[in-house]
Structure 1
Amino acid sequence: MPSMPSAEPAPSDTSAPRRTPRGTRTRDALVAGARRIFERDGYLDSRIVDIAAEAGVATGSFYTHFASKDDVFAAVLADLQDEMLHAGVSDSSRTELRLGVEEANRAYLESYRRNAALMAAMEQAAAVDRRFLQLRLQRSQAFIDRSAAAITRLQEAGLADPELDPAVTARALSAMVSRLAYVTFAADQPLPFETLVETLTRLWMNALRMPQA
């Protein structure tokens, strides 16, 4: 889907000056303020004037650092990227297999729960703007690649079904976990957290035919 035009176009001159310590502080305040506004209002209803007010700066100062609402949202998502990329499945020993899967699922779900409002805003943005759809897919692909590599190692060690395609399996399992996280935390369809972790871990183990002990 092509990108939609911004509802709040920036002035024509959006070139950014060399960053000063004060400029860095202002930009950081804008990113932090934007995050709070996106979490509160969602992507579609957030406004630059509200972001600037939340950051404690004039609206004109916003355009010194960002060309549009889309640009500041991309900066907010960049800060989120590392946190959402959790560790892959451990494959160091049979006894640690289940714990590794459980810890990976738990870390992802805890991070998603902390950032649920922002993840919901990202889903909104991805639905209307290809730029954010691509960012979402890139974030997902990083996890898929890591999981596929772990599945390959497990297969080579005789600890996972050798007939499975690692890349396709990783994509399927990633989609299962991420969609359930969205429905549970962002779409407000709550489930007991420990039940969620236990169920996803068991599904991972069963799908790969990994030893349970």
Structure 2
Amino acid sequence: MKRKEKAAETEAALKAAAQRLFATRGYLNTKITDITAEAGRAAGSFYNHFASKEELLESLLADLEAAGDETVDHPEHSPDFTDPAAVRFHVAGYWHFYAEHAATLRALRQAAQVNEDFARKLNEFTRVQNEEITDHVDYVTEAGHRLPGSPLASVTLMTAVVDSFAQLWHDGVTDLTEDEAIEALTRFVYRGISGRDY
């Protein structure tokens, strides 16, 4: 294997190991030596790729940003939030995104609690992600409906509700099936944004 390919493989193994450990132990309770052991790599190999556990988490955040951009190119994507199907597409998209990246998202939140720099980065990531879909609620105001707040505030409310409920559902707090949870969220968000039921 070429050196570059081997380095990429080691970096991917370290990140995957970190995610597994973050899911079981949490970010704050995971040490670098835990990550290298889980990845089956020498302890010193970590520093060939990351200067710290925080830098590894930053790399995982960059991966999240890239993954979040993929849904825009989906053929079923519609930005028209007057259409319940468009709202459902976005709710379901985030739901599945959360399920896939729950360990990283939780690690980022844990890091933000003890590291102001991470708190800023996570807030910036959230703001940018929300700003990217504020034009979706423009369709609602153009149709004559009143948003609960500014476009950015309305989208932030929507994503906060979906994110919190996804976390609670994955923690087993509700009795809804996955499809029922997505449908309930869609109805809740659609009503909150448009003031109408469907």
Q: TM-score range by the shorter chain?
A: 0.7 to 0.9
Task: Show CA shifts across 1:8-39 (max 9, x none).
Answer: xxxxxxxxxxx833322222222222222222
- The answer on whether the counterparts of 2:148 and 2:154 sit within 8 Å (CA) in structure 1 is no
1:66 maps to a residue whose letter is F
Deviation, 1:191, is 4.0
* Other-structure match for 2:92: 106
2:131 maps to a residue whose letter is D
| Percent identity between the two aligned chains | 28
Partner residue of 2:80 out of 88, 91, 103: 91
Give the Cα–Cα distance (whole angstroms) in 2 for the partners of residues 159 and 199 of structure 1: 24
* Other-structure match for 1:198: 183
- Of 139-148 and 55-64, more deviation after overlay is shown by 139-148
Runs of 4+ aligned structure 1 residues displaced above 4 Å come to 84-89, 210-213
Q: Tell me if 1:155 matches 2:141.
A: yes
Give the Cα–Cα distance (whole angstroms) in 2 for the partners of residues 114 and 32 of structure 1: 12
Give the Cα–Cα distance (whole angstroms) in 1 for the partners of residues 121 and 175 of structure 2: 28
The unaligned stretches of length 5 or more in structure 2 are: none
1:28 maps to a residue whose letter is A
Give the Cα–Cα distance (whole angstroms) in 1 for the partners of residues 169 and 66 of structure 2: 22
TM-score w.r.t. the length of structure 1 is: 0.76
Task: Show CA shifts across 1:175-201 (max 9, x none).
Answer: 22222222222x442442222212221
Written as runs of structure 1 = structure 2, the 5 A alignment for 1:118-157 is: 118-156=104-142
* Other-structure match for 1:82: 66
Aligned-CA RMSD value: 2.6
Pick the structure with greater CA Rg: 1
The unaligned stretches of length 5 or more in structure 1 are: 1-18
Q: 1:78 to 1:191 in 2, by over 3 A?
A: farther
